Amino acid sequence: VQLQASGGGLVQAGDSLRLSCAASGRTFSTETMAWFRQARGKEREFVAAITSSGNFAYAVNLVKGRFAISRDNAKNTMSLQMNSLKPEDTADYYCAAGQSGGLDTLEYEYQFWGKGTLVTVSS
């Protein structure tokens, strides 16, 4: 699976942004998908994940209620709708795919990674 994230940009606090992850490969619909992010000078951290069917999703408390992960297996795409953005959400956002079948939160559980898309939130 090859992944390409897009949709990043510069926004103001309180604005919304929608990230997309386009996947190529025949196994997309069988893989758990996730978003991670890495702020400058910090380690990469888990943001949200969604199961292969799209029936189950999980997001960390920091973004719960503001971010929503979704996927469209027919189009081989995954999205992250980000609302009420805060300056602390500023980071490179990465999409990842894994074959474990669960809502994994650790980097090593994801075998495929896309390049990051930068989100900058100004105050």
22-45 pLDDT per residue, tens: 999 778 888 999 999 999 999 999
Q: From 33, 9, 29, select the one nearest 21 (Cα to Cα).
A: 33
Give the pLDDT confidence score for residue 25 in this predicted structure: 79
At residue 73, the 3 state secondary structure works out as coil
Residues 14, 106, 35, 44, CA torsion sign: positive
Give the pLDDT confidence score for residue 26 in this predicted structure: 74
Nearest-angstrom CA–CA distance, 72 and 37: 21
Q: What is the mean pLDDT of the chain?
A: 95
Q: From 52, 57, 77, 75, select the one nearest 67 (Cα to Cα).
A: 57
Query: If you count them, how many residues does the chain have?
Result: 123
